[in-house]
Chain A
Amino acid sequence: MNRREVLAMAAALLATGAVAREKREKPEKPEKPPELPPWAVSPKQTDSVYFYVVGSAGDLKTPLDAREAAYQDALQKISRSIVTEAGVGEKALSPSGVLVPMEGAEVLPDCTYVHPTKGGFAAYVQVSFPIVQKRKIIARLQGK
């Protein structure tokens, strides 16, 4: 066996190894969704003074946009719950789906969660709304 044959054999062996290694490469894992904070999964129950909703939004360009969209989603949920309870239908809502004016809604401290997604950013916020205020709006909608 001359030098050229030895080199050819070594190259063939290397190539076989490379192919085999390539085959063994693991398939790409799907991206694991982030673990949401417990308050986003199970929001607070209504207590004697406030009721609570979790608003969410996804695939926004910036974390701030995502947070704002999640807050708007929470306001829409509150508004829908009020018009349903008042029995007046969604015609009372503004084009944005929110009752105007909407005073008293507050994002709870430590209840904003923003995480990056493939399409940008997603956000969750937990918002409180006073029950007294809710009753006032219901009375106004019912014309009392």
Chain B
Amino acid sequence: MKRLHELTSWAALVLVVALAGCRTRQLPRTGYVPAEEQGVMTIGLDDHDYDLVAAGITREMFSRGLPAGYVVVLGPVDTRECPYDVRVRQLQKSLQVAFNKEGTLKFMTAINAMAGGTEIDEIFKLIQFNWLNSNPMDIEDMQTFGRLARVNGILFGRVSSLERPLPGGMREITYRFVWELSNTATGLLEVSHEEKIRKNVGRGVR
């Protein structure tokens, strides 16, 4: 009888300890979430997507062994084949930060590159026109631009997207970013990179 009483006491003690463990204190709640968290899936490009795209092209350029001090300028980015907003300025800033952190390559925006005068501006417009109309690049234009703006490479971009319905009212969207880095001295393609982002989005999400 005494043994049974002892066992019951032990069982009660274990139960009390177990229940106390179950009732953990709630952590204080906060509205902040880690900035890297991917968040709600949207049909348009979100912050996480821009991070992925910028990381992809910078990784590719750093891994190609471009000479130290090589200056890259972000040229025209054609987004006409995408019905949704593509924030080129945000991409530009992310690339700038990544280049600055890496240290060996230099990054310049087209606006800064054109600060040299109207001649650069005019040549850049020609280069832009050729890229947007899928015309072959004029090597002379590239060389003149490179010399006047003191840049080694122009990074061209093309963004397109394909969308299709999925069962249950969901939609699938695939964004394709194609990057081409052309050498301004030779006119040759130094880096060509493609980054794809594929997302499934629920009904009513934008």
Contact = CB atoms under 8 A, between A and B. Distances in A.
Interface of A is mostly: mixed
Contacts of B80: 50, 106, 108-109, 128
B86 interface: yes
Contact of A48 (B43, B44, B77, B125): B77
A129 to B, nearest CB: 11
Contacts of A48: 76-77, 88-89, 110
Most buried by A among B78, B83, B132, B206: B83
B119 interface: no
Give the contact-size bracket for chain B: 20 to 34
Contacts of B125: 132
A45 interface: yes
A74 to B, nearest CB: 14
B85 interface: yes
Contact of B206 (A42, A49, A126): A42
A28 B80 CA distance: 43
Most buried by B among A45, A47, A111, A126: A47
B70 interface: no
Interface stretch (A2-10, A33-41, A85-93): A33-41
Contact of B88 (A47, A108, A111, A128): A47
A89 to B, nearest CB: 28
A39 B88 contact: no
A110 interface: yes
A136 to B, nearest CB: 10
Given A41-B206, A132-B125, A49 B132 contact: yes
Given A38-B44, A41-B206, A132-B125, A47 B79 contact: yes
A74 B177 CA distance: 27
Contacts of A50: 79-80
Interface of B: 43-44, 76-89, 110, 125, 128-129, 132, 163, 206
20 contacts: A38-B43, A38-B44, A38-B83, A38-B206, A41-B206, A42-B44, A44-B82, A45-B87, A47-B87, A48-B76, A49-B132, A50-B79, A50-B80, A108-B80, A108-B81, A109-B81, A110-B83, A110-B163, A111-B83, A130-B132
4 A-B pairs with least C-beta separation: A39-B83, A38-B206, A47-B88, A111-B83
